[in-house]
Amino acid sequence: MERTIIHCDMNGFFASVELLERPDLKNVPMAVSGNPESRHGIILAKNELAKNFGVITAETIWSARKKCPDLQLVRPHHDKYKKYSQLINAIYYRFTDMVEPFSIDESWLDVTGSLKLFGSGVQIADQIRETVKKELGLTLSAGVSYNKIFAKMGSEYKKPDATTIISRENFKKILWPLDISEMFFVGSATAEKLKRAAIFTIGDLASSEKAVLQGLLGKQGSMLYDYANGLDESPVARSYEKQKIKSVGNGITFRRNLTTADDIQTALKALSDTVSSRLRTYQLKSFGVKIDIKDPYFKTISRQKQLESATNITDEIYNAAFSLLQSSWTIGKPIRLITVTGINLVDENESEQLSLFTEDQDLREKNTNLDKAMDAIRNKFGGQAITFGGILKNDLGIDLLDENEERED
């Protein structure tokens, strides 16, 4: 039996939640933002009226007010957003127990087993939209398809407050004419690479040679080819089902060889940032760090070390990785590839008990809060929204988590 997958994406979630208690702002352009007194504060979310003025998420308040001088700004209240996210997902569970949250305002639902109870996928999506609107006063857009990727792209296709079905029969007509930047998991840097290779639309991607895409983008190229052709069989993972993960790592073959300490530090900071972010996503911490180093002649070494306390803090993983490299590699000797991996993983709640009495708790808490703040911005605005200064404008071939870039439209 073919699966029926729904992807639900709340419309202007932060702004919509704020408007529930600020009806006076309902008919004026408004946005949720950082500190309005700061020239460099950014827009976190906006309503449709602000969007009509060209206000976009992640732009500075200063820039947004140039477009819309009467823009009304509201400070964010993340506790409210978390509360409403839980209420929304509780509604989803009325229709299926197969619910996979993707971010605070997005979830996938596998409703294959619910069709006899509630009707077709489109009917279920419409019931969910009406229920959320009636009970919570919020709207969402839903995509219905036979796989997760097309369901996600369906929820993006028409906004606000709409249901779009993308089927085996219509996906070429609906999706293939779209610009390549509209493809899920294609961020701005990847889109530019594809366009330089004369791949301008999703249809161009789907009709490309898979081997060519692999040569251009590595494993991601093969994945994108499958996704563009509707070849996604990934399951909707129940939120309470945690797969046993043995390690979490990330490696990069660099555009040029690393030869200086600055090169190495930039690379390790980017890799450690990705690994720690993935650990936090999986709600895990690592009691060890491993690095793999490959030179231009393909000679590879692996080194690892145990940590005093389990961690998913970027700075701690970076320090361990850099310490390993310093003790096992001569700075100046060229490096072609580095992989950083978190090993000996434990549940982050369990690790809190194990590391309760570690030193420098204040510093760890500060770094944890910094990492979580960066996670929140990236979850909402994409991997390029924020990063460490040393990683910007590098010539090493490091894309800033671009493949996972997400935006609120």
Q: Can you give the pLDDT at residue 402? A: 37
pTM of full prediction above 0.75? no
Q: What is the pLDDT of residues 328-343, one digit of tens each?
A: 999 999 999 999 999 9
Say if strands 140-145 and 163-166 run parallel, antiparallel, or are unpaired. parallel
- Residues 326 and 379 sit within 8 Å (Cβ to Cβ): no
Q: Collect all residues with Cβ–Cβ distance below 8 Å to 70 and sequence separation of at least 6.
A: 28, 29
Whether residue 106 lies in the annotated active site: yes
pLDDT at 238: 76
Catalytic residue among 59, 106, 405, 408: 106
- CB burial readout 70-108, b (16+ within 10 A) else e: ebbbbebeeeebeebbeebbebbeebbebbbbebbbbbb
> 171 CB contacts (<8 Å, ≥6 apart)?
145, 150, 230
| Three-state secondary structure call for residue 10 | strand
284-294 and 335-347 strand pairing: antiparallel
Greatest distance between any 2 Cα atoms in the chain = 66
pLDDT of 158-184, one tens digit each? 989 999 999 999 999 999 999 999 998
pLDDT in tens, 261-272: 998 998 999 899
Residue type (1 letter), 313: I
Please identify every stretch of the chain with a pLDDT value under 50, giving residue numbers as ranges.
39, 351-359, 383-386, 389, 392, 400-409
